[in-house]
Structure 1
Amino acid sequence: MKYTLRQLEVFLATAHYQNLTQAAASLSMSQSAASSALRELEDQFDVQLFDRLGKRLRINEVGRGIRPLAQSLLDQAAELELALRQHQDAGHLSVGATLSIGNYLAVEIMARYLQEQPGARVVLDVANTENIVARLMNFELDIGLIEGEVNHPELDILPWRKDELVVFAAPDHPLAGRSALSDADLCQQEWIVRERGSGTRQHFDWAMHGLLPELRIKLELQHTEAIKRAVEAGLGVGCLSAVTLVDAFRRGSLVPLPVPQRDFHRWFYFAIPRNKFQGPGLQRWMALCRQAVPT
């Protein structure tokens, strides 16, 4: 074997930071040692993995092609090291989850995973779909639990569970109690919705096709709870995932508004970097996610 795992670590760190000094520091190496490792890797195979722009290194097409393979190999090496050291089947995970999933589903799944694997550690990063995808592409996460439609050649997108958006209002809203809202009713309301880049906003826009230019968007907020509080205060109507509204509907602080002519059904997805090694920890996490789907 002509390459070493250390050379691959230097390659991946340089691809991440696009700067050899920062890459070396992240690996507790001197810059000269990191530079030598990268140069040796390129020389051994007579390839150039980065375009040099002054002190900045930008990964090129050849580097992008081998990056997921190198990451997968290091992931497998880490799994082997963990098994040898701790003798456990499932280990540490870095999970990204969109806000609706992270705040209302992922924590319970994480609790079950940690109960099964007492020595494991799960880092949960909650952000919108756009940010989760960016972190997956930079190999900062093992898996993403997302609610937006994504089509990316370097990601595997797997259906997880069905979901739907629900239009809602405060119980004293003039439309509360109506059996159905028309498109004209929707255009007359002031809306409080998620920000662009979120999966919820993406599907809201799709569901409202043909009406978007006429909708009165009053507020765009990043946090689900902020939207619910604003709607409770009578500032307008909202539209969020059904999983985020269960408690509010049960308490009666918010009420659903039926909109039968609009399709609010969608899916939640697993997003995984293509060619990523799926160790026992990741496989068990996905199994627990599927078990959490209500019947």
Structure 2
Amino acid sequence: GASTTIGNYVLPPLLGGWAAWQASDQASAWQSKVQIGNTEKIARAVADFALDVGLIEGACHEATLQVTPWLQDTLVLVAAPTHPLARSTPATLDDLREAVWLLREPGSGTRETTDQALLPHLHAYRRSIELGSSEAMQQAAVHGLGIACLSRWVVQDKLAAGQLRCLATPVPAIQRQCHLIVPRHKQITPGLQAFIAFATAFATTPGNAALLQKH
């Protein structure tokens, strides 16, 4: 299982490497099944033994799970180039408080990180639109509906194309830790152990940072 940002932007190159590794190992047969949802749903499914392993970008609140730090992610504040705050001078906190915010739903790792980073400065979102996926948030931002706080993995193509712009604000840089989760009391099969080892190596291999910038 993977939370939505990881599932859409990190899992494809990870599984591409995994499939290539399996082929080079001449495995006789193997199948993978992927479930993508928000962090809360993936953690719950792993805790319920419905999934063998989860890759999540939010904090894990399930006490029965073993949580291992995995990749690091950066979140950025973005808006369309035509947005009033997409200018060379930094936006003020008052500007941000008056803006329309594009937000993920509660239970999303992106929403939890956004709340933790922004609400100490903004106190509340006075005007907001809640959307069920990071891609929907990105498209809404491209069309000028408001400001989004999204993973750089999500927005890098739109930034490069000039469809979005990072905002200069007094809010400190937003970093988050992604995690790999498994049940504490699950018997780890050799196949699952091999995948966990591969995912761990993927996160610590320097060349994969560049690979993720292309997806």
Shorter-chain TM band: 0.7 to 0.9
Q: What does residue range 126-275 of structure 1 map to in structure 2 within 5 Å?
A: 126-275=36-185
Q: Give the deviation of 1:225 after TM superposition.
A: 1.3
What is the aligned partner in structure 2 of residue 29 from structure 1? Answer: none
- The amino acid that maps onto 2:10 is L
Worse overlay, 197-206 or 277-286: 277-286
What is the aligned partner in structure 1 of residue 213 from structure 2? Answer: none
Please, which runs of 5 or more residues in structure 2 have no aligned partner? 24-28, 204-208, 211-215
What is the aligned partner in structure 1 of residue 7 from structure 2? Answer: 102
Q: Give the deviation of 1:290 after TM superposition.
A: 3.5
- What is the total number of aligned residue pairs between the two structures? 200
Could you tell me whether the CA contact under 8 Å between 1:186 and 1:215 is conserved in 2?
A: no
Q: Equivalent residue of 2:120, what SS?
A: coil
Greater relative contact order structure (CA < 8 Å, 6+ sep): 2
| CA distance in 1 between partners of 2:202 and 2:73 (Å) | 13
Task: Give the TM-score of the pair, scaled to structure 2.
Answer: 0.85
- The amino acid that maps onto 1:250 is A
Could you tell me whether the CA contact under 8 Å between 1:148 and 1:203 is conserved in 2?
A: yes
Q: Deviations over 1:66-87 (max 9, x none)?
A: xxxxxxxxxxxxxxxxxxxxxx
Q: What does residue range 105-120 of structure 1 map to in structure 2 within 5 Å?
A: 105-118=10-23, 119-120=29-30
| CA distance in 2 between partners of 1:121 and 1:259 (Å) | 46
What is the aligned partner in structure 2 of residue 55 from structure 1? Answer: none
Task: Report % sequence identity.
Answer: 35
Q: Equivalent residue of 1:122, what SS?
A: coil
| CA distance in 1 between partners of 2:46 and 2:135 (Å) | 26
| CA distance in 1 between partners of 2:201 and 2:92 (Å) | 37
Instruction: Select the structure that is richer in helix.
Output: 1
Could you tell me whether the CA contact under 8 Å between 1:192 and 1:220 is conserved in 2?
A: yes
Q: Give the deviation of 1:213 after TM superposition.
A: 4.2
| CA distance in 2 between partners of 1:126 and 1:269 (Å) | 15
Could you tell me whether the CA contact under 8 Å between 2:76 and 2:173 is conserved in 1?
A: no
Could you tell me whether the CA contact under 8 Å between 2:138 and 2:148 is conserved in 1?
A: yes
Q: Deviations over 1:123-156 (max 9, x none)?
A: 1100001110111111011111011112332101
Q: Equivalent residue of 2:102, what SS?
A: strand
Q: Give the deviation of 1:263 after TM superposition.
A: 4.5
Q: Equivalent residue of 1:177, what SS?
A: coil
Could you tell me whether the CA contact under 8 Å between 1:114 and 1:121 is conserved in 2?
A: no
- The amino acid that maps onto 1:237 is I
Q: Deviations over 1:32-75 (max 9, x none)?
A: xxxxxxxxxxxxxxxxxxxxxxxxxxxxxxxxxxxxxxxxxxxx
Task: Give the TM-score of the pair, scaled to structure 1.
Answer: 0.63
Q: Does 1:277 align with 2:182?
A: no
Please, which runs of 5 or more residues in structure 1 have no aligned partner? 1-95
Q: Equivalent residue of 2:11, what SS?
A: helix
Could you tell me whether the CA contact under 8 Å between 1:227 and 1:238 is conserved in 2?
A: yes
Q: Deviations over 1:97-122 (max 9, x none)?
A: 00000000012211221222242111
- The amino acid that maps onto 1:109 is L
| CA distance in 2 between partners of 1:180 and 1:286 (Å) | 42
Q: Equivalent residue of 1:208, what SS?
A: helix
Give me the CA root mean square deviation.
1.8
Could you tell me whether the CA contact under 8 Å between 1:130 and 1:197 is conserved in 2?
A: yes
